[in-house]
Structure 1
């Protein structure tokens, strides 16, 4: 299982390419978010910041980013071009965002990598997670990132078992994966490219590409042209 099975790092995040290798397990990228930001040599910069937006630490915000009347951003954080941040967003500690993303109202982001076109628009928690290009969360989707027994996260598929070595690990979504409103992704959930999760369920494990995940079963999607 490799990161390239789920997504490709977009050109907008080229400054970080040395830290995110396509041939390693995708959860290894989580361990590289902090070092990638720590190694960044570009000086922090921001557009004009509204009075109600609190910035703290090293924060890089492209001038084209749309900032709300109020939000909290605690670095290190990198936010790419044409991204929209909506009111009440809480962005903290090792967050990298590509171009054209939406970080929604009353959403919290912590130690995560969001690629181009990601939409997390309403009342979501994204912690210790990676969202591939054009991945989408419905309102109220939560990435649960800690087991109740606080043990390291283990990934089990039909073919293998992987010990991630991570105590905190939310979800990994491949390109164009989508999750319906009010779903909970249990710690260590992996969604392949274009995998879909139906609303209002709790789900975990590995959902293969182009598959719809229901509460009790999965259904293979019919391929479509984009």
Structure 2
């Protein structure tokens, strides 16, 4: 599969479109998220966004529950919802109409518009495309157990990233089933579905159904 940014994401569906300039692959963006948010936040219109704490910009239409914790730098977009006991550890962009749910934890992420991570999810060092959805309890694992640098495996191709922490990259309209683990460096192409309770590694082709390792079928 083509792993380029343009092949995974509709960049018109994120306030962070400019962060992708000059980058070919999505993992190249991860190290830039924190600084990008700070610079972008300074340009956000004051009649639309409230500054809540240091480098935390929240759109006035967003619904942030009182029990949620948000550390900067962070941007919470228009009509987004950050629910009870959500834990946003910083370096996070939550897109328009996105949902960050009960006890969900975010760190160093970009959630495109309409993303849903609504129930007990961990999303770290990851980018989730437009309308991507992670079922209850599904998580991104972002560090290998041997702590080695992450290699992206795309069929017979192996791409050295030089990065220790990479979660997952979900293309637009990806559906991840409940209780699934996306192992470090997982990439799921647009409009694909992951079965519940899956352990996913490597690359899942666009418009496919991941049933288990070695059993991935194309959508009709």
- TM value normalised by structure 1: 0.89
Taking the aligned partners of 1:136 and 1:172, their CA distance within structure 2 comes to 12
Deviation at 1:86, TM superposition (A): 0.7
Contact 1:3 1:21 in 2 (8 A): no
Match of 1:166 in 2: 163
Deviation at 1:46, TM superposition (A): 2.6
Contact 1:99 1:115 in 2 (8 A): yes
Taking the aligned partners of 1:73 and 1:162, their CA distance within structure 2 comes to 34
Deviations 1:82-121 (A, max 9, x none): 0011100001120012100000000000000000100000
Residue 181 of structure 1 pairs with residue 178 of structure 2: yes
Match of 2:36 in 1: 36
Match of 1:50 in 2: none
Match of 1:213 in 2: 210
Pairwise CA RMSD = 1.7
Aligned residues: 213
Match of 1:46 in 2: 50
Match of 2:117 in 1: 120
- SS of 2:125 mapped into structure 1: strand
Taking the aligned partners of 1:9 and 1:26, their CA distance within structure 2 comes to 12
Contact 1:10 1:116 in 2 (8 A): no
- TM value normalised by structure 2: 0.91
Deviations 1:33-71 (A, max 9, x none): 122113222368438xxxxxxx65310000000111311
- SS of 1:60 mapped into structure 2: strand
Match of 2:18 in 1: 18
Q: Which runs of 5+ in 2 are unaligned?
A: none
Contact 2:96 2:114 in 1 (8 A): yes
Residue number among 95, 99, 102 corresponding to 1:102 in the alignment: 99
Q: Which runs of 5+ in 1 are unaligned?
A: 48-54
Taking the aligned partners of 1:25 and 1:12, their CA distance within structure 2 comes to 17
Taking the aligned partners of 1:56 and 1:166, their CA distance within structure 2 comes to 30
